[in-house]
Amino acid sequence: MGCVILYRIIGNYREVIYLKKYIIIAGVPRAGKSTVSKMIAKKFGYQHISMDSVIAGIEKVFPETGIDTGASIDARTNLENISAKIAPFIRTMMDSGEYDECDYGVVIDVFQLLPQDYVTYLGNKNCEIHYFLSSDVTAEERFDLLKKYDTPDDYTYYHSDEENRKDCAEIVTISRMIKAQCEEYGLPYYETSYEREKVLEEFVNLLSD
């Protein structure tokens, strides 16, 4: 099954909505991936899978895979390493047939999945991807936004300013790399550094248009 059929009532008419069976929400940390995935799950009845927990399990139980999110190497190099391994893993999940007979779809949110690996392993008729980024700001502007909106529910709330400044610099750098790849492969991306809630709400509404 390549799509999920939903219905929307408009006046006296019932409109058919076709959505992909698998919707992948990718991009950098703190760009709204989990939030928009939960919005999709709630609005369209999709099952939400957070790859963060799956990757954490693989990392701890199967260290032989070489997946180490905390590796002391360049963040970009580590992302490329993990993405090349996680992309075929997600493809295998989709090909397992686990959800073939289900009426609902699956929304997957993931950080470690680059556009180049999505195109190589995942791009097909039953799957679509959307990237959420922080590419149009400087590292210091990203840090200021983080401090403005950070809450005790966010992991960054418990990090030092030094740690968060380093993370923000990496997020901006990786966002720009992903943006360049999205443009190369013609994949959609959304900037959420400013007016994030508005961008996420408009995106979810557009899915059913």
Contacts of 26 (CB under 8 A, 6+ apart): 33, 109, 110, 111, 113, 118, 129, 130, 131, 132
Q: CB of 21 within 8 A of CB of 93?
A: no
For residue 125, report the phi and psi dihedrals to the nearest 5 degrees: -70, -20
Structure tokens at 4: 């999920």
Residue type, 43: K
Residue with tokens 């995942």: 122
> In this structure, what DSSP letter does residue 136 have?
S
199-208 pLDDT per residue, tens: 999 999 888 7
What pTM does this model have? 0.89
28-64 pLDDT per residue, tens: 988 899 999 999 999 999 999 999 999 999 999 999 9
pLDDT of 208 reads 74
Pairing between β-strand 22-27 and β-strand 127-133 as defined by DSSP bridges: parallel
Report the 3 state secondary structure along 28-71.
CCCCCHHHHHHHHHHHHCCEEEEHHHHHHHHHHHCHHHCCCCCC
Name the residue among 36, 113, 108 with its Cα closest to residue 79: 113
Average pLDDT, the chain: 88
> How sure is the predictor about 12, in pLDDT bands with cuts at 50, 70 and 90?
low
150-174 pLDDT per residue, tens: 778 777 778 888 888 998 999 999 9
